[in-house]
C-alpha cells in the first residue's frame, strides 16, 4: 500500500482527492474560481464536509461560472439558502457572489485570474520538502500577501489560512510529505 499524507482517511472520496488532485497545479481560471468558492465555504468546517458536497456545489453554483454567479439576485440567494446539498450560510453564499465580481475584475485587469493569483508564488509551484505533517505551516508570507491583496480587491473569506489551503489545493505549493508517493510524482514536475 502506498504511503500517503497523514491527513488522509480511509474514505475513498478523500483518498481519490489526495491521490489525484491535491497539490496538482491548476491553471484554468474557472477551476481556480471553484477552489476559491469551496475554500471559502470550508471556513470553520472540515474539508471533508465540503468535498462531500462538491457536486452539489457545482450544480447549485452553475458549474462555478463566475459570470453567472456575479449576476445572482435575491431570488437565487433564497434558492441557495434552501439547498440542503450545500452549506446554507448567507454570508458564505453572498461572499461567493461578491468574489465572482471581484474575480471578474481581477481577470479583466490581469488578462486572466491565473496571471494574478499565481503571481504570489512567482508563477511556479513551490515544492516543499516536509518530512512530517506537523512541519507543514498553516500560513506563509505568500499566503499573508495573497490574503491582504484579495481583501483589498473586495474578496471575502480569504484569510491567510484559507489562502494557504487554497495554495495547497491548487498546486501553487506542493505540501505532500516526503514519504507520500505523490511527493515523488509531483516533485519531478518541478
- What does the block give as the cell for 136? 507543514
Contact (Cβ atoms closer than 8 angstroms) between residue 177 and residue 129: no
Residue indicated by cell numbers 462531500: 52
Collapsing DSSP to helix, strand or coil, 124 comes out as coil
Altogether, the residues listed in the chain come to a count of 190
Concatenated DSSP letters of 34-63:
HHHHHHHHHTTS-HHHHHHHHHHHHHHTGG
Please report, for residues 15, 115, 146, the alpha-carbon distance to residue 92 in angstroms, rounded to integers and kept in the order given. 27, 25, 19
- Residue in 128, 110, 126, 107 with CA at minimum distance from that of residue 36: 107
Task: Round to whole Å and give the CA distance between 165 and 56.
Answer: 21
Residues catalogued as catalytic: 17, 39, 47
Q: Strand ranges (DSSP E) for 60-164?
A: 126-127
Task: Round to whole Å and give the CA distance between 33 and 21.
Answer: 15
Amino acid at each position: 500500500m502506498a504511503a500517503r499524507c497523514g491527513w488522509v482517511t480511509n474514505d475513498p472520496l478523500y483518498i481519490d482527492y489526495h491521490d489525484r488532485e491535491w497539490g496538482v497545479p491548476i491553471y484554468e481560471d474557472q477551476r481556480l474560481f471553484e477552489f476559491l468558492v469551496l475554500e471559502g465555504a470550508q471556513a470553520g468546517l472540515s474539508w471533508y464536509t465540503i468535498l462531500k458536497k462538491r457536486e452539489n456545489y457545482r450544480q447549485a453554483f452553475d458549474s462555478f461560472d463566475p459570470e453567472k454567479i456575479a449576476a445572482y439576485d435575491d431570488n437565487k440567494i433564497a434558492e441557495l439558502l434552501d439547498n440542503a446539498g450545500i452549506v446554507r450560510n448567507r454570508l458564505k453564499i453572498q461572499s461567493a457572489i461578491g468574489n465572482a465580481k471581484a474575480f471578474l475584475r481581477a481577470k479583466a485587469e490581469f488578462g486572466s485570474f491565473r496571471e494574478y493569483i499565481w503571481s504570489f508564488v512567482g508563477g511556479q509551484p513551490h515544492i516543499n520538502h516536509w518530512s512530517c505533517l506537523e512541519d507543514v505551516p498553516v500560513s506563509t508570507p505568500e499566503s499573508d500577501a495573497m490574503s491582504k491583496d484579495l481583501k483589498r480587491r473586495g474578496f471575502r473569506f480569504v484569510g491567510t489560512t484559507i489562502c494557504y489551503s487554497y495554495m495547497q489545493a491548487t498546486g501553487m505549493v506542493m505540501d505532500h510529505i516526503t514519504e507520500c508517493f505523490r511527493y515523488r510524482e509531483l516533485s519531478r514536475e518541478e
